[in-house]
């Protein structure tokens, strides 16, 4: 039996309510023969509808203190239970969480009721789960999810579409389609220019690619900051995740370095204009929302969208060119993975593994970040451990 952290007094009522919620489910008094029977029990179909495995584990083992069996081949944990006088187990196996029973096809109705009651217990135990989450963050015994490869893949996909569409537009610059048709009012001739529509599509794709880039960097900067040792606790990660893009950038890169500072200034300008355009009504990339008539002609009036600035203006920073923005982004990505951050590329983009905060706190990552060779050696061991855990090869 594992050592449990004492339950705070204010959660005793939650424990009692969860106990009532699961109804007739009881810890099983398992004999040696019963244990052998459960080892060979089969999976019920109803068990597929159980809540997530960790919530079921926390409910039964951590909160209600059901006895359980630990790891064995292809099984992470198993809780033997009794329901209506029959023996079942709730197990997290390699192929997922389930309700298991001897002769499972004859126990489907009971298994459905078990699933229903466990779900009710999980909902009742919500305050306990919140307490567990808060405690885990405070203790920093956490893995930080790594979605960098997927987010970067979205950027690359949109970037590729933008480039192909731009190339096609250039190739079809001189192409014209003329169509003549008879109408009740006479002959009408229309001319269309495929390149114009392609350029419009390319602009939309560029904006989508730029947004995808900033979405990726919001994520990847946090991972770089952890690997570099700039943040090491769950609270710091949570705070940074809620911070602005500029704070995330500065946590991962040194803006005192001239080349990095130049990229920061360009990217923050692109981000500000993109946000003004995309998040504030898409009036115009320079914030133009109105125009008024004057002796000079039509004059655009711009919305500042910045605290501490006049609300309206007749001037603003030059609107970014999509092509220039894309070119800046591609150069920055090469800069991001250069120099002291090159080992981070192997971990974040290549391995796809989550970040382990305990390895950040004890200096393990700092050592691995000394060189590409050090990171490769570290990852060989870590990937093996994750593969073993995924296969439940204990």
* pLDDT tens by residue, 131-179: 998 888 887 778 899 999 999 999 999 999 999 999 999 999 888 888 8
| Residue 81 · residue 23 · CB < 8 Å | no
> Do 383 and 236 belong together in one domain?
yes
> Do 126 and 154 belong together in one domain?
no
> Do 224 and 347 belong together in one domain?
yes
Based on the structure, what is the number of domains in the chain? 2
> Do 113 and 35 belong together in one domain?
yes
Q: Tell me if 187 is assigned to some domain.
A: no
Q: Tell me if 300 is assigned to some domain.
A: no
Q: Tell me if 306 is assigned to some domain.
A: no
> Do 42 and 61 belong together in one domain?
yes
> Do 25 and 121 belong together in one domain?
yes
> Do 166 and 129 belong together in one domain?
no
Q: Tell me if 118 is assigned to some domain.
A: yes
End residue of a domain, out of 139, 159, 184: 139
Q: Tell me if 90 is assigned to some domain.
A: yes
End residue of a domain, out of 139, 162, 181: 139
End residue of a domain, out of 88, 117, 139: 139
Q: Tell me if 20 is assigned to some domain.
A: yes
> Do 53 and 165 belong together in one domain?
no
Q: How many CB atoms lie within 10 A of CB 220?
A: 25
Report, as ranges of residue numbers, the positions in the chain whose pLDDT lies below 70: 1-4, 32-37, 275-320, 393-394
Helices (H), the chain: 12-21, 32-39, 53-57, 108-124, 126-139, 148-171, 194-227, 234-241, 245-252, 258-279, 322-336, 342-345, 357-361, 364-368, 372-390
Q: Tell me if 246 is assigned to some domain.
A: yes
C-alpha distance from residue 170 to each of 62, 204, 208, 321, 330 (Å): 64, 16, 20, 17, 21
| Residue 391 · residue 94 · CB < 8 Å | yes
Q: Tell me if 48 is assigned to some domain.
A: yes
pTM above 0.95, yes or no: no
> Do 44 and 169 belong together in one domain?
no
> Do 17 and 93 belong together in one domain?
yes
For 34, the domain range is 9-139
Q: What integer pLDDT is reported at residue 296 of this predicted model?
A: 58
Q: What integer pLDDT is reported at residue 289 of this predicted model?
A: 53
> Do 153 and 90 belong together in one domain?
no
């Amino acid at each position: 039996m594992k050592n449990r952290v004492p339950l705070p007094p204010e959660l005793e009522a939650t424990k009692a309510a969860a106990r009532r919620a699961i109804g007739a489910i009881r810890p099983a008094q398992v004999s040696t023969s019963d244990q052998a029977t459960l080892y060979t029990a089969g999976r019920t179909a109803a068990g597929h509808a159980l809540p997530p495995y960790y919530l079921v584990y926390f409910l039964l083992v951590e909160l209600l203190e059901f006895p359980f069996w630990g790891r064995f081949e292809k099984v992470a944990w198993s809780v033997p239970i009794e329901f209506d006088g029959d023996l079942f187990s709730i197990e997290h196996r390699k192929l997922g969480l389930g309700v298991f029973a001897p002769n499972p096809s004859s126990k489907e109705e009971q298994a459905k009721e078990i699933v229903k009651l466990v779900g009710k217990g999980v909902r009742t135990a919500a305050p306990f789960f919140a307490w567990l989450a808060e405690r885990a963050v405070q203790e920093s015994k956490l893995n930080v999810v790594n979605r960098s490869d997927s987010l970067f893949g979205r950027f690359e996909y949109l970037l590729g579409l933008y480039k192909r569409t731009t190339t096609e537009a250039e190739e079809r610059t001189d192409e014209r389609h003329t169509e003549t048709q008879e109408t009740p009012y006479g002959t009408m001739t229309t001319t269309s220019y495929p390149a114009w529509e392609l350029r419009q599509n390319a602009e939309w794709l560029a904006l989508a690619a730029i947004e995808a880039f900033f979405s990726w960097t919001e994520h990847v900067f946090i991972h770089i900051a952890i690997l570099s040792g700039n943040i090491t606790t769950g609270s710091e990660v949570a705070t940074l995740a809620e911070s602005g893009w500029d704070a995330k950038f500065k946590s991962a890169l040194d803006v005192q370095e001239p080349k990095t500072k130049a990229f920061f200034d360009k990217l923050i300008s692109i981000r500000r204009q993109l946000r003004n355009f995309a998040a504030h009504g898409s009036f115009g990339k320079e914030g133009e929302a109105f125009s008024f008539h004057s002796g000079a002609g039509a004059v655009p009036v711009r919305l500042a969208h910045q605290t501490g600035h006049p609300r309206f203006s007749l001037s603003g920073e030059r609107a970014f060119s999509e092509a220039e923005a894309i070119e800046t982004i591609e150069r920055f990505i090469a800069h991001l993975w250069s120099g002291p951050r090159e080992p981070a590329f192997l971990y974040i983009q290549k391995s796809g593994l989550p970040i382990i905060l305990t390895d950040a706190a004890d200096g393990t990552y700092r050592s691995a970040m000394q060189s590409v060779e050090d990171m490769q050696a570290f990852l060989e061991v870590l990937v093996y451990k994750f593969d073993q855990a995924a296969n439940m090869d204990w």
